[in-house]
Copies of this chain bind each other. A is one copy, B any other.
Amino acid sequence: MQNFLFYSPTEVVFGKDAELQTVQEIQKFGGHRVLVVYGGSSAVKSGLLARIEGNLKTKGMEYELLGGVKPNPLLSFARKGVKQATAFGADFILAVGGGSVIDTAKGIAHGAANPDIDIWEFWCGREIEKSLPVGAVLTISAAGSETSNSAVLTNEETGEKRGLPSDFNRPKFAIMNPELTYSLPSFQIACGITDIMMHTLDRYFTPTEGNQLTDGIAEALLRTAIENGRIAMKNHSDYDAMSELMWCGSLSHNGLTGLGAAADFAPHKLSHELSGKFDVAHGAALSAVWEAWATYSWKEKPERFVRYADKVWGIQKEKPEDAVKAGIDATVSYFRSLGMPTCFTELGIGVQNNETLRELAGRVTGNDAYTVGSFKVIHTEDAYCIYQLANH
């Protein structure tokens, strides 16, 4: 087991009517002037935003609204939010939505606490020394941003999509009512399930040996997400299934499923470049590259894929390579059963020419300025080969 640091201080308020505790939580963490960030019309239509506004008014809280966050959230929108938060004098940022909204709220919090610094500098490596507190009312089970230390923004001027890991990204609280996810379209639920699985798989496939508890937790999480994902796709109002998915989403990305081991995250990096260039959904970009990554990488450590097939899918085979293949196939079939793409054509970006693949591969590694991945260390040429495998 490798040395590790585990810090997940977010207070989780989970269950029916949890959103009624929003203001109480904001006050607990010192908020008085709240910028409420949300996405499109669903938070309005569902009445959730009105309930939260009612809650804020009743308790005499000052607040302003900022709607319009889009999936693959934009740096320019976060910068706009920083201006509004600063003008309003916000001391707390409340995100009402999914990963994109929460990541945007994190960006706004960093900017509002550091008005003289352009926030993209933090995404380019500048250390964060202070930020405003952020809280989240979650409306989709997926990204885990409600407890994670990461936030992803896309710089539309450069086409780069970048993640920023920092403990300042940990929300103070996360309000998680599974009923708030009932009204999601099937595609979004499917993207969420994929995202949950991939956050876990990108930690599970590691070169580090011997992390029994971490592995056991990751495998339990994967089995739970797979089984309840099937139920949730048939019935969006199954409380238990939607609850399991919501809790899986948080635990998949708060660090717990990869402690003591080197994380891989190559599929995430490969998919980020696709989302950045083609504006495709995060979950869809992940499922579209995973088979190619797995097919290209399994030989580094076949026994890890054999274990995966056994513990997650219940598949045993006499020959290790058969087990590896069966585990990969089971995963790909599951993605397909969710309606998720497993190659570029299914992703809707068509077959790309080699020049585009070279460009994407270069971005993955900063043209070999660094490598990504740890299970299989990925250089530009590897990224190109993986993109080629997915390019059908």
Give the B-binding residues of A (Cβ under 8 A): 1-9, 11-16, 18, 210, 212-214, 216-217, 219-221, 223-224, 227-228, 239-240, 243-244, 247-248, 251, 259-260
Query: Which of B1, B9, B213 contacts A9 (CB under 8 A)?
Result: B9
A328–B244 Cα distance when bound, in Å, is: 29
In the bound complex, CA of A224 to CA of B221 (Å): 16
Q: Are A4 and B8 in contact (CB under 8 A)?
A: no
The chain B residue sitting closest to A239, CB to CB, is: B1
Closest B residue to A240 by beta carbon equals B210
Q: Report yes or no: A6 in contact with B14, Cβ–Cβ below 8 A.
A: yes
Q: Which residues of B contact A243 (CB under 8 A)?
A: 1, 260
B6 near A12 (CB under 8 angstroms)? yes
| 11 pairs, A vs B, C-beta closer than 8 Å | A1-B244, A2-B15, A3-B15, A7-B9, A9-B9, A9-B11, A14-B259, A212-B224, A212-B228, A217-B220, A219-B220
CB distance from A159 to the nearest CB of B (A): 37
* Cross-chain contact B1 with A12 (CB below 8 angstroms): no
Q: Which residues of B contact A6 (CB under 8 A)?
A: 11-12, 14
Q: Within 8 Å CB of A260, what residues of B?
A: 14, 243, 247
Inter-chain pairs besides A14-B259, A213-B221, A213-B248, 17 sampled, C-beta below 8 Å:
A1-B15, A2-B15, A3-B14, A3-B15, A3-B18, A4-B12, A4-B15, A5-B12, A6-B11, A6-B14, A210-B240, A212-B227, A213-B224, A213-B244, A216-B217, A217-B220, A243-B260
Q: How far is the CA of A16 from the CA of B260 in the complex (A)?
A: 12
Q: List the B residue with the shortest CB-CB distance to A12.
A: B6
- Whether B228 pairs with A224 at a CB distance below 8 angstroms is no
Q: How far is it, in angstroms, between the C-alpha of A219 and the C-alpha of B216 when the chains are bound? A: 9
Instruction: Flag if A221 contacts B227 (CB, 8 Å).
Output: no
A149 to B261, CA, bound (A): 27
Q: With the chains together, A228 CA to B213 CA distance in Å?
A: 10
Most buried by B among A213, A244, A251: A213
Pair A216/B212 contact, Cβ less than 8 Å: no
List the 10 closest pairs (A to B, CB-CB), nearest first: A3-B15, A216-B220, A9-B9, A6-B12, A1-B243, A213-B224, A7-B11, A212-B224, A210-B240, A4-B14
CA distance A169 to B243 in the complex (A): 28
Q: Which of A223, A228, A247 has the most CB of B within 10 A?
A: A247
With CB as the reference atom, state the residue of chain B lying closest to A222: B216
Q: Across the interface, which residues of B come within 8 angstroms of A244, CB to CB?
A: 1, 212-213
Taking the closest CB of chain B, its distance from the CB of A218, in whole angstroms, is 9
The interface residues of chain B lying within 8 Å CB-to-CB of A18 are: 3
Write the nearest CB–CB distance from A255 to chain B, whole angstroms: 10
Chain B residues whose CB sits within 8 angstroms of the CB of A7 once the complex forms:
9, 11-12
User: Which chain B residue lies CB-closest to A15?
Assistant: B3
Across the interface, which residues of B come within 8 angstroms of A16, CB to CB? Answer: 3
A285 to chain B, nearest CB (A): 26
Closest Cβ of chain B to A243, distance in Å, is 4
A52 to chain B, nearest CB (A): 18
Complex formed: what's the CA distance from A14 to B213 in Å? 14
Are B5 and A13 neighbours in the complex by a CB distance under 8 Å?
yes
Smallest distance from the beta carbon of A281 to chain B beta carbons, Å?
A: 24
> Contacts of A2 on B, CB cut-off 8 Å?
15
What is the CA–CA distance of A251 and B214 in the complex, to the nearest angstrom?
Answer: 11
Cβ B5 vs Cβ A213 within 8 A: no
Contact in complex: A220, B213 (CB < 8 Å): yes
User: CA of A345 to CA of B190 in the docked complex: distance in angstroms?
Assistant: 57
A216 touches B210 (CB 8 A): no
Q: Kindly state the separation between the CA atoms of A217 and B217 in the bound complex, as whole angstroms.
A: 5
- The distance from the CB of A252 to the nearest CB of chain B, in whole angstroms, is 10
Residues of chain B within 8 A of A247, CB atoms compared? 1, 213-214, 259-260
